Structure formats: structure tokens, C-alpha cells
């Protein structure tokens, strides 16, 4: 029961689209109909500016953190099998709750299942589960954004690089198996959600921070 509650709560938390809420309260607009059409902090930056973007980014990260810690609290009160055919299942509830929060962000029930790309809540989820490895890959992703001015490139590095660094350090940091499975799935989801960005990056047509935005296809 605790596992089911964690997943449902995580999805509902993730389904709160702060980009929609902030854009509607500031300009009475549906952010999904402006800029790139994505319900996320990067599109808020392009359409409304730095202040609202920082607010949305922070709130989206926090909902990922909240989902994980709620699940950790519930998991502490319940017994979950330590071993399954997949290996050590310690940390299963936080991993699934974090995944649910990201799925809620991408496909929010409150907003017609049209949301963002899941990067910000993924940062909150991953940093709550594996803080030190998340810091390592986060620094690389931020440097990539600073140097290239491609937010999508940093997002892809974070998504694809996190499971790799967890695989390399999981024994050293005693990282539960579900955390690796979660980040591997998130990496695949990130590649899928950013597939149009990848195409533009390859062609050199991706939008950079500070450039006039071109409508995404």
C-alpha cells in the first residue's frame, strides 16, 4: 500500500505544471501555445524572462525532491523485500515515486497530458537519490551549457551521463539497484523527449540562450 501511495502521490505532484501556473498568473497565457510550446523553465525564460524562469525551475526541482522524500518516509514505515530477481530492491519506493513525478511533469493529468520534458524534476529526483554522482554529472552539464549556450545539450548530458556515472560508482557509494534502473530509464526518456533537439544540434540549428527563439517542430 505504501508503494502505491508513493507512486500516486509522486505522479500528482509531478502533474502540477508550474510553468503553466506562472505564465497564466503573469500574462494570462498558456505557455504551451507560445515559444517552443514546451511547458518548462527554458521556454519560460524565452517568453517571460529570467525571474519567472528561475521560479519555475526551482519549483519543478522541488516537486521531484518532495516526491522522493515522501516515498522515503513511507518506505521507512513498511517492509519491502530486499532481494528480487532484479537484485537489491532497497530504495524501490523512492525510485518509482521519482519516476512517477517525472511522468506527471511530462504528461500531467491536470493539463490534458501535455507537459514538459522532465529535466527539472529529474534533477530534483536524481539529486535526492544519488547526490554526489548527480553533482559530478551536473557540473559537466552546466559547463556544457555555459560553453555552448545549448540548454538541450546540457539536459542530454545530464540524462545520459547519470546512469553511466552511477554504474561506475554504485559499489563505492552503495547505491541501490533501483536507482540505476531509474536513471537508465530516465536517460532513454531524455533522448526521446529531446529527439527534435538532437536533430537540430546535429544540423547546427539548435536555439542558443539569448538568441531569438524559432518555433520548434
Instruction: Report yes or no on 68 lying in a domain.
Output: yes
- State pLDDT tens for residues 80-118: 444 444 444 678 899 999 999 999 999 999 999 999 999
Instruction: Report yes or no on 215 lying in a domain.
Output: no
Instruction: Report yes or no on 209 lying in a domain.
Output: no
Does residue 194 register a pLDDT over 80?
yes
Instruction: Report yes or no on 186 lying in a domain.
Output: yes
Instruction: Report yes or no on 213 lying in a domain.
Output: no
Q: Do residues 16 and 108 make contact, with C-beta atoms less than 8 angstroms apart?
A: yes
Look at the chain and report how many structural domains it folds into. 1
Buried b (16+ CB within 10 A) or exposed e, 29-66: eebbebbbebbbbbbbbbbbeeebbebbbebbbebbbb
Instruction: Report yes or no on 157 lying in a domain.
Output: yes
Instruction: Report yes or no on 214 lying in a domain.
Output: no
State the pLDDT confidence band at 78, using cuts at 50, 70 and 90.
low
Q: The pTM is what? A: 0.87
Distance CA 128, CA 44 (A): 25
| Domain boundaries, position 110 | 2-80+89-203
Amino acid at each position: 500500500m505504501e508503494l502505491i501511495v508513493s507512486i500516486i502521490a509522486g505522479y500528482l505532484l509531478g502533474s502540477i505544471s508550474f510553468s503553466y501556473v506562472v505564465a497564466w498568473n503573469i500574462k494570462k497565457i498558456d505557455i504551451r501555445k507560445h515559444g517552443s510550446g514546451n511547458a518548462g523553465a527554458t521556454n519560460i525564460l524565452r517568453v517571460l524572462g529570467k525571474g519567472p524562469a528561475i521560479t519555475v525551475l526551482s519549483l519543478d526541482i522541488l516537486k521531484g525532491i518532495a516526491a522522493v522524500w515522501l516515498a522515503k518516509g513511507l518506505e521507512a514505515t513498511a517492509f519491502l523485500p530486499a532481494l528480487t530477481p532484479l537484485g537489491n530492491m532497497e530504495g524501490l519506493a523512492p525510485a518509482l515515486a521519482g519516476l512517477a513525478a517525472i511522468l506527471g511533469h511530462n504528461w500531467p493529468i491536470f493539463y490534458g497530458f501535455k507537459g514538459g520534458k522532465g529535466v527539472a524534476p529529474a534533477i530534483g529526483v536524481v539529486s535526492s537519490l544519488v547526490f554526489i554522482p548527480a553533482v559530478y554529472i551536473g557540473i559537466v552539464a552546466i559547463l556544457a551549457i555555459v560553453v555552448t549556450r545549448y540548454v538541450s545539450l546540457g539536459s542530454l548530458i545530464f540524462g545520459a551521463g547519470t546512469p553511466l556515472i552511477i554504474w561506475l560508482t554504485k559499489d563505492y557509494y552503495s547505491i541501490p539497484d533501483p536507482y540505476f534502473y531509474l536513471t537508465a530509464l530516465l536517460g532513454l526518456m531524455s533522448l526521446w523527449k529531446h529527439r527534435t533537439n538532437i536533430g537540430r544540434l546535429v544540423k547546427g540549428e539548435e536555439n542558443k540562450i539569448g538568441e531569438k527563439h524559432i518555433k520548434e517542430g
